[in-house]
Structure 1
Amino acid sequence: MNETHHRVTLTVNGVVREATVPGRRLLSDCLRHDLGLTGTHVGCEHGVCGACTVLLDGEPVRSCLTFAVTVDGQEITTVEGLAQGGALSPVQRAFTECHALQCGFCTPGFLCTVTAFLRDNPAPSEEEALEAVAGNLCRCTGYQNILKAVHRAAEIQAAEIQAAELQAEEGGA
């Protein structure tokens, strides 16, 4: 039996992209195979590990549990889209500074998860940071440096906001 294919239009990392996919194509597979964005990793394919986490309209979702046709017309940010203008995002820089990755397989999911978390909670407590990353599995790091990276990213973001505010004040004076 021939499966019906559907045309989907997605804004991925700020770029409008189109793909023709079967109705049962997972978003993770669409991103990786149809759009060539291999930064989104597929681990368990059951939504447990979090390696496939991307931002859908700014919110973290498991792309291995999401059909591509259900997100037609929506905005997706993958790990490739976190850097802005060639510069690593504060979360990416913090993960690097704090050695919060080893093999790197889980890292894209953590980066997307932490990016959304810090947007909503820019100064998390230790408990809040732990809860935020608890849905992503890492078999290498032991999580200590990942938690350090969450707090370091919050510091970097706060410093960038303060610098931008200072610059705006000086420019308006």
Structure 2
Amino acid sequence: MPRIKVEVDGTTYEDDVEPRLLLVHYLRERLGKVGTPIGCDTTNCGACTVLLDGMSVKSCSVLAVQVDGRQITTIEGLGLDGERHPMQRAFHEEHALQCGYCTPGMILASIDLLRENPDPSDGEIREGLEGNLCRCTGYQNIVRAVRSAATEMRGQAAGREVSS
């Protein structure tokens, strides 16, 4: 059985894994990262999205053996010192969730979207999140939340540049 070493939410894990074990099952069943939901198991819904080396991936389409030596961030790994990440805060403040099932994947995909485009238009937000489905909200509040988080994150980045 292959052995992997992976950093998940700042903690390093070493495990023997079956070659066909999906990352989503490794995260949930081995590591207890149940904030990463299993949605469709076909990469259609995006609920299981995590950040792999900072880029969003659908963990139902990645094998655990493929993350050997890499870094993963789940919804549980966001934020610092008990503070919510700006995207989490924006989703809460803008009421960008209803049932919450899609929310972890939507938040992580949104963070990756802003990494690539820190000031997206509403259309660019919708296009950037098209691989993540929400069956409850109609997306207006999600778009508003991403826009709000983008503004805050740009302000934080500008503040870091000034203090450097």
TM-score w.r.t. the length of structure 1 is: 0.90
Percentage of identical aligned residues: 50
Name the counterpart of 2:146.
Answer: 150
Q: Give the superposition deviation at 1:14.
A: 1.6
SS in 2 for 1:145: helix
Say how many residue pairs are matched.
164
**For residue 16 of structure 1, what is the amino acid of its counterpart?**
T
- Alignment of 1:34 onto 2:34: no
- Alignment of 1:21 onto 2:17: yes
**1:85-118, Cα deviation, whole Å (9 max, x unpaired):** 2111111111001000111110010011001111
Q: 6, 10, 27: which one pairs with 2:2?
A: 6
Q: Give the superposition deviation at 1:165.
A: 4.3
**For residue 90 of structure 1, what is the amino acid of its counterpart?**
P
Name the counterpart of 1:161.
Answer: 157
Q: 98, 103, 110: which one pairs with 1:102?
A: 98
SS in 1 for 2:2: strand
**Backbone CA RMSD of aligned residues:** 1.3
Structure 1: which 4+ aligned runs deviate by more than 4 Å? none
Name the counterpart of 2:130.
Answer: 134
Give the unaligned 5+ runs of structure 1.
none
Q: Give the superposition deviation at 1:163.
A: 3.7
Structure-1 separation of matches of 2:57 and 2:49: 5
| Higher CA-based Rg | 1
Structure-2 separation of matches of 1:27 and 1:147: 28
- Alignment of 1:43 onto 2:39: yes
Greater mean deviation of Cα atoms: 27-36 or 119-128: 119-128
**1:40-89, Cα deviation, whole Å (9 max, x unpaired):** 11100000000001111111111001110111111111111111221111
- Alignment of 1:58 onto 2:54: yes
Q: Give the superposition deviation at 1:134.
A: 1.1
Give the unaligned 5+ runs of structure 2.
none
TM-score w.r.t. the length of structure 2 is: 0.95
